[in-house]
Amino acid sequence: MSDERFSAEQVERYQAHLALPDIGHTGQQRLLDTSVLLVGVGGLGCSAAQYLTAAGVGKLGLLDDDSVDLSNLQRQILFSVDDLNGKKARVAAEALSGLNPDTELVSIVDRLTATNAVGLIKGWDLVIDGSDNFATRYVVNDACVLAGTTLVTGSIYQFEGQITVVCPPEGPCYRCIFPAPPAEQAPCHAAGVLASLPGVVGTILATEALKLAIGAESSLVGRLLLVDMLDTSFRSVHVTRDVECALCGNKPSISHPTAVALCRDETD
């Protein structure tokens, strides 16, 4: 296939992708035509956003209503001391703006809730959930399943991380895997988190999104990948769709994103 669809600068920029038989010119064009909404621009989001932008995703939404805090800088690598108190979505877009002119960066200073989730994810090809609390994860899952939008979701805690892909109607949704919120966890400033862990998990989130964007299958549909950086291990658990799931089961009762009651949020 010729390089006519790409400029000389793009051919040079994406040469490492163009050389891959599984991506090539067709796959790179698919990346350039794909839009991804990133929910949460914390530790996971910062890492994922860098690789998505560098890879040439055509449009990247950065959704977060939080501001940069000094305690974030231990692991949220798009930010610096000069960014303190700035809105993460805007600061991240500015930090990424010089990386790749092919990626349209959209900063969305808002918090995704059960009320606005449907509107916020509408029109995006893929959603990555790097949010820092269980309440948001359930709402993102609900909105994506109801809209038929593929979701790549991940979380971290101390030395451990989890990643799965929700691809309705294939495989289970987040509610199938976690019918009720897991036990309450202390926030990171109290429980701690390894600085590099968000980079590992965030990179996997970006990797799954890139594979889906080029038309490849994700092996994490129906699998929960468990990462443990304390003993540097990766293992996966096979998970199946729950036919009695209130969202994606045979007789669903959830028709709109629904918040779950939590005692306290975790943070990334």
Give the other-Cβ count within 10 Å of 158's Cβ.
Answer: 16
In this prediction, residue 260 carries a pLDDT of 84
Whether a cis peptide bond, with omega within 30° of 0, leads into 169 is yes
Q: How far is CA 96 from CA 19, 29, 225, in A?
A: 25, 20, 28
The pTM assigned to this predicted structure is 0.94
Full set of structural domains in the chain with CATH:
34-238 (3.40.50.720)
Which long-range CB contacts under 8 A does 229-234 form with residues at least 24 apart? 229/159, 229/160, 229/161, 229/194, 229/196, 229/197, 229/200, 230/159, 230/160, 230/194
Tens digits of pLDDT across the chain (268 residues): 345 789 999 999 999 999 999 999 999 999 999 999 999 999 999 999 999 999 999 999 999 999 999 999 999 999 999 999 999 999 999 999 999 999 999 999 999 999 999 999 999 999 999 998 899 999 999 999 999 999 999 999 999 999 999 998 889 999 999 998 876 566 666 778 999 999 999 999 999 999 999 999 999 999 999 999 999 999 999 999 999 999 999 999 999 999 886 644 444 4
